[in-house]
Structure 1
């Protein structure tokens, strides 16, 4: 029986299968960073990602918190429901998909507890809410609906008073479920989490993190105490060693396994004063253009009438291309970093695949707001517009390569200025 608990009529197995839509675990982090960045309009000045310890069992947990506007009880329920997104009606927000919070948190771990405080506005009192989305709870209790225990409070003077939505007995049923299945065993320990939030904000704690095929945590917190990395096929020790030798290729060599590296190139622009903090240290925003030499800019205008592309002549993409400054080392780095509405969708997208070294060392950056991202924001929907963009980007890379390349080895040259002499630069 679910009693007075909030619940959604979807089988809990859907939570797990839905989370696997994130093939890449760092893509799940990106969804949560998007949500915090979208809160800049509500006063957010930071997002903080860290590791915590579960006091019940000593296991590692993930923390993602920001000081944005927070969520009132109704918005909290919308956040924890499936297929609902208020952002779909808001222009210029990154997180457009209602399932983003659920799929990303469930991709990182089996369980998540959310604390959110919303400051007083529009004549309404301040509120704070706690919500538990726990696959462990649902599976262990044999629930056939997705039950989301929630606790709400409203500020009355200096005190926080319970919001009783149905009956005190139902409120207690929700509280008992949270005490049993969350890392917090009492109401006092739950409320203490709001000390971190101050006036407004949201604090997300993900626990029972997933293991990999070898039975180790998928997330690696030990390799670098200032980073969160992933184990397995995305981690290449040779690339890590090369990244220390060739700094201009560092992000290409490390973004697949390092959250710090990936997050530093995740956005083209960071709002002034906004901080992304990972394990106590700021993530330094990085523009891939700074890794280039012999830079060239080309304006691409999508063909009007293709799919849903507007006739608006202002819809263009400025493609910035160049040789990576470490090109003389013959590192096989090439491809385009393609952003959509400021957010990186395709990192180092390799389109020109030929035998030999043709195209090697050429990288590019563009913001293509006229192509539609896939639901997990790790690729684009296959459309005519995308096919035409692909073909044009390949041609741009070919033109750039053949206009500047001569058949003598870059390794004979020691400095960017000497390498520059190797090419016929035509803006």
Structure 2
């Protein structure tokens, strides 16, 4: 998992500070109060040596890493117990109420005339509020792992572990990517650093690690091992909101440990100066889940030659004082506590709706991760709680699919091309679901984006999938920036939904809304047959054919090479630039009603003819009878559906009663056997 960056901290602006001076002050104060066992022989260092880079051996400039300055420390911030103190507040949306205790006098004391900015610890919380949804924060961490596929990553693990300090649940995210060297680790902990230049890279802003980890829990510890140019390093970093708030810091302090493999000794040895190393180690042992250096180093045992392990602990609670992430309800999944909602629909359709992926992804991490990426390489695995996640292609859920080509333009220039797969869900019309799953660079940004609001079922069950790389996602990757291109896309998707519904709704039992119509040849990409071949009653117009395949990750497009000999009644997917063409199945359904509708229209316009022609009068009477029978059959169908629903409900009740009786019978057998045993004895 690589978080490398190349941002310059020049012009006197420093984004974040890791402070050996502050760490030394903290440890020295702890020694004076006798509250830290491992710091008894430490001394506070105020010389210029303590203001140098945290990786002196690498020759790194202090302006390109986390700089060091002193911070005020609350004497009560330490702890003498073996349990790491919990956060001041365990509810995320209330944890931003933080007072560092430093008034104007304290701030004036630290004003040394240098022209730079400090990042207050409160920014960690306010920055994380961009994630309204916990699963969106987890997805940010997985994006870094997926970006590491180009560096050889083959898996990413998401699992629950136990914090040995307090026995509480913690979240583990681990991959076998390229890992981070000491400089990259500092960029990971800083803000706005990103060296991801690949066009396919999901990460961009260099902010996802901080927002995601702080949204999930108050504290995170990172272990990373990196191998490059025959240099093997491993680093440990701690970003702890608990530590900063408990000790009253007015700026962000990030303790780190760096090691490099010494070929001569065959061991990893410290990179920093010993004083600096010991000061950082003291804070890590005080505030991390691990209490000894040996326990810290043991975390590298299952990382391998390269990779990254992230442990997020002191996870946030919800308003009911329960962990926001539910690890107990399903041992193979992680759920969001209290997010499961009942769907209001016909009783017989409730299970179909509630179990559909469109309703489950919001509270089931396994379901969400199965659709998070449009394409996953075969040699890369997403593993959740010990079980590999099966990739799910939403386009496979559609029936009667079509492919629609859209070329957005601004100022007369084409911004890109996108092929949208659109169709009815296979469960339609039972499911009250519609919308578009919009991906950006292979990553799901907006699942089931509802672009239409319907009151008469128009659009119900219509779902589409597309990869829109011409619009930019927001920082939390749960929405797109509100631009004119996005507005145009929304309008086009709305048109697609209504057009598809109007011409295909008869296929799932709804009444046809519009008559099919023929578009100009340049708008239709079907095959080389003439319109007279497809629509015998229409004028003959030649239709140009262009073979355009579906994009990677979507279903294969309908190949038109020898399509003239194929039956159109199979309703194969057709690729359209503007989806105005209608399948022959719909056309045939409309043509059967054409003659009758023409006759009725003629009669309404010529009442005299109606009264004089007995043949027409007879047809009208027959039509009335047929309509009455049709209404009667529809009513019977509704009654049968209700009866079937009631019978299923009764069967369920009977099964429950049967299971209860079986349980009672088995209990009676146990009592009978015990009684017989007592009689024999």
Judge same fold: TM > 0.5, yes or no.
yes
After superposition, the Cα gap between the structure-2 partners of 1:61 and 1:7, relative to the gap in structure 1 and judged at 3 Å, is farther
Structure-2 change in CA distance of 1:103 and 1:383 (3 Å): same
1:144 Cα deviation (Å)?
1.1
Residue 328 (structure 1) shift: 3.4
Judged with a 3 Å threshold, the aligned counterparts in structure 2 of structure 1 residues 390 and 335 are, in CA distance, closer, same or farther, namely same
**Correspondence for 2:402:** 296
Q: Deviations over 1:354-390 (max 9, x none)?
A: 2121100000000000011111110000111011110
Match of 2:102 in 1: none
Counterpart position of 1:414: none
Matches within 5 A, 1:234-249: 234-238=339-343, 245-246=351-352
Separation in 2, partners of 1:266, 1:242: 30
> Which residue in 1 is equivalent to 2:423?
322
Q: Which residue of 2 aligns with 1:190?
A: 296
Question: Secondary structure, in 3 states, of the residue corresponding to 2:297?
Answer: helix
Q: Which has the larger radius of gyration?
A: 2
Matched, 1:424 2:586: yes
Give the secondary structure class of the aligned counterpart of 2:253: strand
Q: Does the 8 A contact of 2:506 with 2:586 survive in 1? A: no
Deviations 1:36-57 (A, max 9, x none): 0000011100000000001110
Secondary structure class of the residue paired with 1:147: coil
Point out 4+ residue stretches in structure 1 off by more than 6 angstroms.
241-244, 417-423
The answer as to 2:167 corresponding to 1:58 is yes
- Aligned 8 A contact 1:374 1:381 in 2: yes
Partner residue in 2 for 1:413: none
Cα drift, residue 339 of structure 1? 0.4
- Give the distance between the partners of 1:405 and 1:171, measured in 2 at CA: 69
Specify which of 204, 220, 231 is matched with residue 96 of structure 1. Answer: 204
1:226 lines up with 2:332 in the alignment: yes
The alpha-carbon distance between structure 1 residues 361 and 248, as it changes in their structure 2 partners (threshold 3 A), is farther
In the alignment, the residues of structure 2 paired with residue 195 and residue 245 of structure 1 have an alpha-carbon distance, to the nearest angstrom, of 45
Asked whether 1:178 is paired with 2:284, we answer yes
- For residues 68-217 of structure 1, what are the structure 2 equivalents within 5 Å? 68-87=177-196, 89-119=197-227, 121-122=228-229, 124-157=230-263, 158-164=266-272, 167-217=273-323
Q: Distance in 1 between matches of 2:348 and 2:129?
A: 32
Aligned-pair CA distance for 1:408:
8.2
Shift of the 225–44 alpha-carbon distance from structure 1 to 2, 3 Å rule, reads same
Give yes or no for the alignment of 1:394 onto 2:494: yes
Alpha-carbon distance in structure 2 between the residues aligned to 1:406 and 1:249: 26
Whichever structure has more helix as a proportion of its residues is 2
Cα distance 1:7–1:247, how it changes in 2: closer, same or farther (>3 A)?
farther
Partner Cα separation in structure 1 for residue 249 and residue 342 of structure 2: 44
Deviation at 1:246, TM superposition (A): 3.3
Does the alignment pair 1:366 with 2:474?
Answer: no
Matched length: 407
- Whether the 8 Å CA contact 2:23–2:283 is kept in 1: the answer is no
SS in structure 2 at match of 1:424? helix
- Do the aligned residues in 2 keep the contact of 1:248 with 1:291 (CA within 8 Å)? no
* Counterpart for residue 126 of structure 2: 17
How far did residue 92 of structure 1 move?
1.6
**Greater fraction strand:** 1
In the alignment, structure 1 segments of 5+ residues that lack a partner are 411-416
**Residue in structure 1 matched with residue 14 of structure 2 by the alignment:** none
SS at match of 2:127: helix
Q: Do 2:434 and 2:459's aligned partners in 1 also have CA atoms closer than 8 Å?
A: yes
User: Scaled by the length of structure 2, what TM-score is found?
Assistant: 0.57
- Contact in 2 for aligned 1:249/1:291 (Cα 8 Å): no
Please tell me whether the aligned partners of residues 7 and 148 of structure 1 are also in contact (alpha carbons under 8 angstroms): no
Aligned equivalent of 1:284, options 390, 398, 419: 390
Alignment partners' CA distance in 2, 1:108 and 1:422? 52
- Kindly indicate whether the alpha-carbon contact (under 8 Å) linking 1:249 and 1:324 is maintained by their aligned counterparts in 2: no
